[in-house]
């Protein structure tokens, strides 16, 4: 704070009077430079709250799904750190999360501090997290999109970094998997938050912990109180400080912050094989998809759904359903009609080939039944690849699509999704 006993900064920006009180205690000589100016980062999130649903749709979060955001700060005791000589928690946890959380009920996203990306390099980070990414994890841009991901989240798993604190200030359920405190001022609100926040046991059953955090959540009062003392006012306070330092009059126009942009559409791309459990009753089909096969005795039929870009081509020979996504007029694939025919010819065990052409549509060729267009009915909002598994289960139970088409009701993620099954136009 000091150089030769004097403050060497013209202004020391603080977001809350609590910080000013601590500054007075530890370095009273710097009090004269302190400026209470709120938190522009948090103000941008507050202003963007009405766009939560847009941010969720940008991440491909479907109706009924819960977005689990994992975040890590950048020092060794963080969620992505080395755990002080122990196994990295986050990389080893992600495959279990992907396995234990059903694919249609949960969406996973990870926010890693920019210094993690810089220290290891993007290629290394993606290599370490390759299995989780193939299971549907999205890595959030650590500079431009992390705030939007927080606003979209249903629950946050993290550590003692600022992102976890911001999440708690927004009122989200937060569970800490790494809660080291030796780097924190014990009198700081962040330290109190780390002491009081619920803990995630990375070695215990994960789904139960996440569901309990959602069901029993009660916001901690500290983060919302101490993140800023001037919500929505930081732009004006900061500009006043800057122009005072420059000894210039402020502009007459109001001081405003840049709004958070809408991120690019980034839906999950699952290329890990999915074990699909289905229950058929008439035209009602219940479905649950996971990266591991469940042996809990829950009944139902089991099918294997495999993306054509699976890491192990041998998975395709055992697949009941093979999927991929693409433009309907992609000349490389020949379009849905050609691609689906090639897949059924190449893989005799496969019963259904599904070519996903949009967020709510896919073209399906079912062995012995023909070519169909599957589209979302009124109120439906689910992964079209799941529509294909739904149709495969229904046909496998003795169903048959009449010439005029039919309507299936897919039960998934706590909701009912009408699927319109009709004949596909052929060239």
Quick: pLDDT tens for 115-126. 999 999 999 999
List residues bridging with 3 in a β-sheet. 6
Residue pLDDT, tens place only, 7-61: 999 999 999 999 999 999 999 999 999 999 999 999 999 999 999 999 999 999 9
pLDDT of residue 69: 98
What mean pLDDT is predicted for residues 341-345?
A: 98
Predicted confidence (pLDDT) at residue 294 exceeds the cutoff of 80: no
pLDDT of residue 230: 97
Cβ-contact 399, 47 below 8 angstroms: no
Predicted confidence (pLDDT) at residue 179 exceeds the cutoff of 90: no
Cβ-contact 147, 44 below 8 angstroms: yes
Q: What is the pTM of this model?
A: 0.94
Lowest-pLDDT choice from 6-10, 162-166, 374-378: 6-10
pLDDT of residue 165: 96
At 5, phi and psi to the nearest 5? 80, 0
What mean pLDDT is predicted for residues 222-227?
A: 95
pLDDT of residue 90: 83
| Residue 427: pLDDT band with limits 50, 70, 90 | low
At 23, phi and psi to the nearest 5? -60, -40
pLDDT of residue 195: 92
What mean pLDDT is predicted for residues 325-334?
A: 94
Distance, in Å, from the CA atom of 385 to the CA atom of 395, rounded to the nearest integer, reads 16
pLDDT of residue 27: 93
Predicted confidence (pLDDT) at residue 6 exceeds the cutoff of 60: yes
Distance, in Å, from the CA atom of 83 to the CA atom of 131, rounded to the nearest integer, reads 21
What mean pLDDT is reported for the chain?
Answer: 93
SS (H, E, C) 11-73: CEEECCHHHHHHHHHHCHHHHHHEEECCCHHHHHHHHHHHHHHHHHHHCCCCCCCEEEEEEEC
Predicted confidence (pLDDT) at residue 372 exceeds the cutoff of 70: yes
Question: Higher confidence at residue 2 or residue 89?
Answer: 2
Q: What is the DSSP letter of 424?
A: P
Distance, in Å, from the CA atom of 316 to the CA atom of 8, rounded to the nearest integer, reads 65
Count the Cβ atoms, other than its own, within 10 Å of residue 402.
Answer: 8
Predicted confidence (pLDDT) at residue 84 exceeds the cutoff of 80: no
Cβ-contact 391, 352 below 8 angstroms: yes
pLDDT of residue 88: 72
| Residue 297: pLDDT band with limits 50, 70, 90 | low
| Residue 348: pLDDT band with limits 50, 70, 90 | very high
């Amino acid at each position: 704070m000091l150089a030769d006993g004097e403050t060497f900064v013209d202004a020391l920006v603080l977001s809350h009077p609590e910080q000013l009180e601590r500054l007075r205690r530890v370095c009273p000589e710097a009090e004269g430079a302190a400026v209470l100016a709120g938190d522009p980062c948090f103000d941008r999130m507050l202003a963007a709250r009405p766009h939560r649903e847009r941010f969720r749709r940008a991440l491909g979060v479907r109706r009924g799904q819960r977005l689990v955001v994992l975040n890590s700060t950048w020092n060794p005791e963080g969620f992505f750190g080395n755990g002080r000589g122990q196994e990295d928690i986050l990389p080893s946890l992600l495959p279990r999360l992907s396995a234990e959380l059903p694919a249609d009920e949960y969406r996973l996203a990870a926010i890693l501090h920019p210094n993690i990306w810089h220290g290891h390099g993007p290629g290394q980070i993606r290599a370490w997290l390759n299995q989780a990414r193939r299971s549907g994890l999205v890595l959030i841009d650590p500079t431009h999109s992390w705030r939007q991901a927080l606003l979209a989240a249903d629950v946050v798993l993290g550590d003692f970094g600022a992102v976890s604190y911001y999440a708690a200030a927004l009122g989200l359920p937060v569970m800490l998997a790494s809660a080291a405190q030796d780097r924190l001022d014990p009198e700081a609100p962040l330290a109190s938050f780390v002491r009081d926040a619920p803990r995630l046991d990375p070695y215990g059953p994960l789904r139960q912990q996440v569901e309990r955090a959602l069901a029993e959540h009660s916001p901690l009062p500290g983060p919302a109180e101490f993140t800023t003392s001037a919500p929505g006012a930081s732009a004006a306070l900061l500009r006043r400080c800057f122009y005072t330092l420059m000894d210039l009059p402020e502009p007459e126009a109001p001081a405003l912050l840049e709004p958070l942009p809408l991120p690019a559409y980034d839906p999950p791309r699952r290329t890990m094989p999915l074990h699909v459990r289905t229950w058929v009753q008439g035209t009602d089909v219940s479905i649950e998809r996971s990266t591991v096969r469940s042996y809990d005795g829950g009944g139902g039929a089991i099918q294997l759904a495999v993306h054509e870009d699976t890491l192990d081509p041998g998975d395709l020979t055992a697949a009941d359903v093979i999927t991929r996504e693409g433009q309907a007029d992609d000349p490389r694939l020949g379009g849905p009609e050609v691609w689906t025919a090639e897949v059924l010819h190449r893989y005799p065990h496969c019963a259904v080939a599904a070519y996903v052409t949009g967020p709510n549509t896919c073209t399906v060729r079912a062995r012995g039944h023909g070519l169909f267009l599957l589209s979302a009915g009124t109120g439906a909002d689910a992964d079209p690849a799941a529509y294909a598994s739904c149709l495969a289960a229904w046909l496998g139970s003795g169903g048959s699509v009449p010439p005029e088409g039919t309507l299936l009701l897919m039960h998934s993620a706590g909701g009912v999704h009408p699927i319109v099954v009709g004949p596909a136009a052929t060239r």
